[in-house]
Amino acid sequence: MDKNFINTLINNYNINLNEQQLAAVFHTEGPAVILAVPGAGKTTVLVCRTANLILNHKINPKNLLSITFSKASAKDMKKRFMNIFGKHVSENINFSTIHSFAFFLIREYAYLNNIKYTLIEGNNQNFNKIKILKGIYHNVNGSYISDDKLEELLNAIGYIKNTMIDISDIHKFQSLQIKHLEDIFNKYEEYKKKNLLIDFDDMLTLALQILKSNKNMLNKYRNIYRYIQVDEGQDTSKIQNEIINLLAYPNNNLFIVADDDQSIYGFRGACPEDLINFNKKFTNAKTFYMEQNFRSTKNIVSVCNSFIKNNNYRYDKNLFTKNVAKRPVTIVKVKDEITQYEYLIKQLKEINDFSDTAILYRNNISSIILAEKLNRNGIPFYIRDSKLNFFNHWVVNDISDFLKLALDMNNVQSFENIYYKMKGFISKVAMQYVKNNNNSKSVFTKLMSFPNFKHFQLKNISMLNTDFKRLAKKPPYDAIIFIEKQLEYSEHLKKRCKNSKYSYEGIKSILSILKSIALETNSTVGFFARLEHLQNIIIESKNNNYKNAITLSTIHSSKGLEFKNVYMIDLIDGAFPSTSSIESYEMGQPKALEEERRLFYVGMTRAKEVLDLITFNEKNQQRVFYSRFINELEEIIYSSNSVNNPLKDILKVGSEIEHIKIGNGKITAINNNTITINFNYMGEKDFSLSTCIERNLLRPVTQLKH
């Protein structure tokens, strides 16, 4: 190691690297994988290694390519490098995303071959990716695609491209639930090829194709980029790895910084298997471990380290910290979602610095009711995720149409939107009769004059007319329940979910949110006004970034961030982990559940000092179960030697202890979450250790002595 460089880092830049970090910084030649745990200072290491190569080994900056996961990461890394070493390095250094590099290569190829490609990403182009796919979907399936299905389609196409799946094998992937996906995919590819159009995914496939087919360009870029660094290596897909490995060959000066325990983008085609098999592909590869966490307290680090070890398919690492222990990781069990929000509001009102506080969740939809509750309590917030389709979701539109029709039974448009989604069995012909009848009578009065109805059908229409009159008089919360049950909308939802591969649990969550909003309003008009206001404040929350506001974020979007206080919510089985992951695990396929455990781990490791994990056992007035990850964490947190256990010093076999409801006894056994106590007058009793600690049922006998 270069002691002069080490001293320069310490004395000139106040960068004091530990032994693990220094070993990585001073690696120069050949392949290497650097396994960096959360909060290990990986960006600092990448920046310092870049400086070491340029300043100490005289590597031309032009020969160095640093690939990062996002534009923001590339920008941040370049800024940090220039702030520290910029005065010593005059030439430009290439910090780039893989897509930016691929697009640069494609433009050169297009120029040399007189080809004009058009990028169809964004909303401004005439040949817009979204418009093209909507049109193809409609042509293939004969129906318009909803916003959530469109997002699913976009993800499916990206997954196919990034994992390099042969489209003819698409039937093997049960997660890609798009009707006639193979036909849509092929027509989309044909349309782009015919019109020389490319999207972000095509940047990768086309770049790989160019490198494989054009030896001159391949050799040119190999000679330019003789040293390649990859940040967030666990998130690279199969096709990205192919491009990188092809460029790095034959010198293989490939430096991968990654953490397999933070691989959470499987739905985008991320391929952690390539990372785990790195040493098999490159037999002379070096492996460096960066296991020290500089971010979090000892309480948080110890729990996270034990938790992630429940995954089997991973590098064996030991997360540790020299930070002191502070507030224990807290599992908060409440009755239901409403109680969950009450707990959150109470905690947040005791916090002064909102900007260092985050509420994290598995799914975007959790942010809607959070925004509602925070706004009503005057707590400012910022939502990181921009894709919120809730207010345009077809279920929200359906409920709105039911209510609009109840308020105005002449509203033919609302009736047309929902006539087949409720009881009554109204035909298209009858619906057309209503549309063609231009008098000012209600839709139900018009239907009563439809000549083709039989007596029982007329009776059904009369009952519907009465039901909608009753609906108009109900407060919003009761109205939604009436729509679900009395008008049998829930039956329609079950059928639609079965036929269209929608998640019925997800649909019920949307209804639950609508009910929560409705509870706070007194009239249908007020309910509509609140929905519109809530949509506006969520949009406006973007302006609260960098202000004193709570951050609301999916765990996926929180990756790379850190906060003093972190609250993880909605931690129930079926939501986190998802039902599909649980079902796959029970069928002997643990891969999906292990990714969900990694996602949970990423959420926990965002916290510096306060980490609350909130769960409940009732949702939509139905029994639900605590996340199985909560059960795993209880065993860790409440184990007798855990730093998070407030009684760890006395939880030893042979110690005297008091159970506040039973009396004094002696501990005779501790086995995982079970503690056995021998009471003099009643013998041995077994207790749940976690329950005893949560309810403060145990304390040292010495507390009673005077």
Helix-then-strand count for the chain, H and E:
30, 20
CA dist., res. 95 & res. 565, Å (int)? 32
CA dist., res. 105 & res. 107, Å (int)? 6
Residues 326-339: pLDDT tens digits?
A: 998 999 999 999 89
CA dist., res. 239 & res. 207, Å (int)? 10
CATH class entry, domain 304-380+548-629: alpha beta
Residues 430-459: pLDDT tens digits?
A: 999 988 887 778 899 998 888 888 888 888
- Which residues, listed in sequence order, are joined to residue 554 by a DSSP beta bridge? 361
Q: Report the pLDDT averaged over residues 350-354.
A: 91
With cut-offs at 50, 70 and 90, classify the pLDDT of residue 175. low
Which SS3 state, helix, strand or coil, does residue 660 take?
Answer: coil
Q: 463-471: long-range contacts (C-beta < 8 A, 24 or more apart)?
A: 463/424, 464/422, 464/423, 464/424, 465/409, 468/405, 468/406, 468/409, 468/444, 469/406, 471/402, 471/403, 471/406
Res 580: pLDDT: 87
Q: Report the pLDDT averaged over residues 567-576.
A: 95
Res 125: pLDDT: 62
Residues 631-664: pLDDT tens digits?
A: 999 888 887 677 777 777 778 888 888 888 888 8
Q: What is the DSSP letter of 233?
A: G
In the CATH scheme, what is the homologous superfamily, with its name and number, of domain 17-104+207-292?
P-loop containing nucleotide triphosphate hydrolases (3.40.50.300)
CA dist., res. 2 & res. 58, Å (int)? 14
Res 124: pLDDT: 66
With cut-offs at 50, 70 and 90, classify the pLDDT of residue 386. low
64-68 sheet: strands from edge to edge: 94-97, 64-68, 227-230, 254-258, 32-36, 286-290
Tokens of 609: 């000092």
**Is CATH 1.10.486.10 what the domain over 391-523 is classified as, yes or no?**
yes
Q: What is the pTM of this model?
A: 0.88
Residues 525-540: pLDDT tens digits?
A: 999 999 999 999 999 9
Res 440: pLDDT: 76
Res 705: pLDDT: 41
Asked whether this chain's domains 17-104+207-292 and 304-380+548-629 adopt the same fold, the reply is yes
With cut-offs at 50, 70 and 90, classify the pLDDT of residue 399. very high
Q: Where are the domains of the chain?
A: 17-104+207-292, 118-195, 304-380+548-629, 391-523, 656-704
Percent of the chain with pLDDT over 90: 62
| DSSP notation for 116-157 | --EE--SSS-SS-HHHHHHHHHHHHHSSPPPHHHHHHHHHHH
Quick check: bond before 250 cis, omega within 30? Answer: yes
Residues 120-153: pLDDT tens digits?
A: 987 766 678 999 999 999 999 888 888 878 888 8
Is residue 603 a contact partner of residue 558, using CB atoms and an 8 Å limit?
Answer: yes
Res 700: pLDDT: 82
- Please report which helix (H) or strand (E) contains residue 68, including its range: strand 64-68
Res 625: pLDDT: 93
Minimal CA–CA distance to 148: which of 488, 561, 500?
A: 500
pLDDT value at 501 more than 80 = no
Judged by average pLDDT, the poorest of 1-15, 118-132, 513-527, 663-677 is 118-132
CA dist., res. 552 & res. 383, Å (int)? 5
- Please report which helix (H) or strand (E) contains residue 65, including its range: strand 64-68
Q: Report the pLDDT averaged over residues 109-117.
A: 94
With cut-offs at 50, 70 and 90, classify the pLDDT of residue 704. very low
With cut-offs at 50, 70 and 90, classify the pLDDT of residue 706. very low
Res 644: pLDDT: 77
Is residue 79 a contact partner of residue 243, using CB atoms and an 8 Å limit?
Answer: no
* Helix%, strand%, coil% for the chain, nearest 5: 55, 15, 30
CA dist., res. 219 & res. 217, Å (int)? 5
